[in-house]
Chains A and B, each alone.
Chain A
Amino acid sequence: MADKGYQPEMFGEGIWLRPLEPRDALAIAQSTEIVEDSAQPVPNVPTSETAYRNWVAAQDESSLVWVVCRTDEQEAIGTASIRNIEMGTRTAETGMGLFYPEDRGKGIGQEVKALVLDFAFEVMGLHCVRCTIDARNTRSRRSVEKSGYVLAGSYTADIPVGLGEYADTLVYQLLASDWRAAKLG
């Protein structure tokens, strides 16, 4: 696995984030729906534990991926990521997903996003992040808007969803300055 440099564990009220490891492959592969706040959380999404192990091992230095765990537990209940990191422009793409429907709507997503954004802006020094969402996913839209992301536009027919059918992708962004202002306000 590539050297990720400084990628710490991060702790919230009811959850904590730890860097993705090969042992998480099974949990991810078994999750029924890894897509929540990202239209395409990983390129060429693997479909088996072996494929996920290979995917974990192949993560490069432009990606930081964490698994989400409940406090005092090790089992992954979701993932969070900062991808396509461009330090020249100080931009990146964020994404997150919770594996199980019963974990949604409980504020876990907001907590995860707050930790990831705090790391992105205050530790990494990024200027701006974006995230992409399947336009049909109203839950995710509400969730990222609640975290302060602003709609920047949409891509037509961006996500293959069936034979010859495609869904649009919404693109949201969040500037560090807006994030800090919202925290203070």
Chain B
Amino acid sequence: MNSFSVESITVPYRLRAIRELDLEGLPQLFPESTVHGRELADRRAWLRDVESIAWGKNPRLRLVLEETSTGRALAGFTFDRKSEAVAILRYGFRPTTAMTQIAGFVLAKEFAFTTLRLIALRTDMVQGQDPLANIHEQIGYRQAVRLREWWRDAEDNALDLITYEAVNPDWEAKHGR
């Protein structure tokens, strides 16, 4: 058997808390937030506000997908806790590859089930986002709800809103699917 050192294993990505260094890319990482302004000082104030809530009390948890070799933030993931068992996942990516996106979504799902110990993680997408839908299906999400004509695009066309859901395997083993 070949020997190896733990240090030699490279993990290209990880999830971590937001840092001051991430503030520059904040609007791309967390596009759902409308409170962080254009000025860096505004973003710093926003970060101070959202991060001052004690861990476990904050219903909205934000994590960054970091490229471990550079420390650069590639994506932002927001977990909105709906209950002890369920969270809604939202995200923002800097321009990146599909593989990086997949890695991010896989890590987010693992974090939801192993660290947060959630039963279900949900994410919404609008009809026509086929590449994103394919990624989610590849990593174990399924279409849970499809609301016909629930969303409006910029031209006021009515589009379906689709909720994808990943269910904790432990829960599925106990309760079935």
Q: Give CA–CA (A130, B145) in the complex, Å.
A: 11
Please name all residues of chain B whose beta carbon is closer than 8 Å to the beta carbon of A152 when the two chains form the complex.
145-148
Q: Give CA–CA (A175, B152) in the complex, Å.
A: 14
User: Quick check: B120 and A156 within 8 Å, CB to CB?
Assistant: yes
Q: How many residues of A are in contact with the other chain, CB < 8 A? A: 19
Point out the residue from A154, A155, A156, A173 that lies within 8 Å of B150, measured CB to CB: A173
Say if the beta carbon of B115 comes within 8 Å of chain A. Answer: no
Find the B residue at minimum CB distance from A156: B120
Please name all residues of chain A whose beta carbon is closer than 8 Å to the beta carbon of B151 when the two chains form the complex.
89
Say if the beta carbon of A128 comes within 8 Å of chain B. Answer: yes
User: Quick check: A128 and B167 within 8 Å, CB to CB?
Assistant: no
Interface residues of B in 128-150 (CB under 8 A from A): 143-150
Interface residues of B in 153-177 (CB under 8 A from A): 158, 163, 165, 167, 171
A156/B119 contact (C-beta < 8 A), A89-B150, A127-B158 known: yes
Find the A residue at minimum CB distance from B118: A157
Say if the beta carbon of A153 comes within 8 Å of chain B. Answer: yes
User: Quick check: A160 and B83 within 8 Å, CB to CB?
Assistant: yes
Among A128, A155, A156, A157, which residue has the most Cβ atoms of chain B within 10 A?
A: A156
Inter-chain residue pair count (beta carbon < 8 A) = 63
Interface residues of A in 68-89 (CB under 8 A from B): 88-89
Find the B residue at minimum CB distance from A171: B145
Say if the beta carbon of B41 comes within 8 Å of chain A. Answer: no
Bin the interface of chain B by size: 20 to 34
Find the A residue at minimum CB distance from B122: A155
Q: Give CA–CA (A86, B56) in the complex, Å.
A: 30
Please name all residues of chain A whose beta carbon is closer than 8 Å to the beta carbon of B167 when the two chains form the complex.
156-157
Among B86, B122, B143, B167, which residue has the most Cβ atoms of chain A within 10 A?
A: B86
User: Quick check: B146 and A155 within 8 Å, CB to CB?
Assistant: no
Say if the beta carbon of A158 comes within 8 Å of chain B. Answer: yes
Please name all residues of chain A whose beta carbon is closer than 8 Å to the beta carbon of B122 when the two chains form the complex.
155
Please name all residues of chain B whose beta carbon is closer than 8 Å to the beta carbon of A157 when the two chains form the complex.
85-86, 119-120, 167, 171
Secondary structure call for the B interface:
strand
Please name all residues of chain A whose beta carbon is closer than 8 Å to the beta carbon of B145 when the two chains form the complex.
152-155, 171
Please name all residues of chain A whose beta carbon is closer than 8 Å to the beta carbon of B20 when the two chains form the complex.
none
Point out the residue from A89, A130, A156 that lies within 8 Å of B152, measured CB to CB: A89
Point out the residue from B120, B150, B163 that lies within 8 Å of A128, measured CB to CB: B150
Find the B residue at minimum CB distance from A130: B147
A160/B84 contact (C-beta < 8 A), A89-B151, A127-B149, A127-B158 known: yes
User: Quick check: B83 and A155 within 8 Å, CB to CB?
Assistant: no
Please name all residues of chain A whose beta carbon is closer than 8 Å to the beta carbon of B119 when the two chains form the complex.
156-157, 166
User: Quick check: A128 and B149 within 8 Å, CB to CB?
Assistant: yes
| 24 pairs, A vs B, C-beta closer than 8 Å | A88-B152, A89-B152, A90-B152, A127-B158, A128-B147, A128-B149, A130-B150, A152-B145, A152-B148, A153-B145, A153-B146, A153-B163, A154-B145, A155-B86, A155-B165, A156-B120, A156-B165, A156-B171, A157-B171, A158-B120, A166-B83, A166-B119, A171-B147, A175-B149
Chain B interface (Cβ < 8 Å from any Cβ of A): 82-86, 119-120, 122, 143-152, 158, 163, 165, 167, 171
Beyond the given pairs A153-B163, A154-B145, A158-B82, 17 more chain A to chain B contacts, judged by CB atoms under 8 angstroms and listed by A's residue number, are: A130-B150, A153-B143, A153-B144, A155-B144, A155-B145, A156-B120, A156-B167, A157-B85, A157-B86, A157-B120, A157-B167, A158-B83, A158-B86, A160-B83, A160-B85, A166-B119, A173-B147
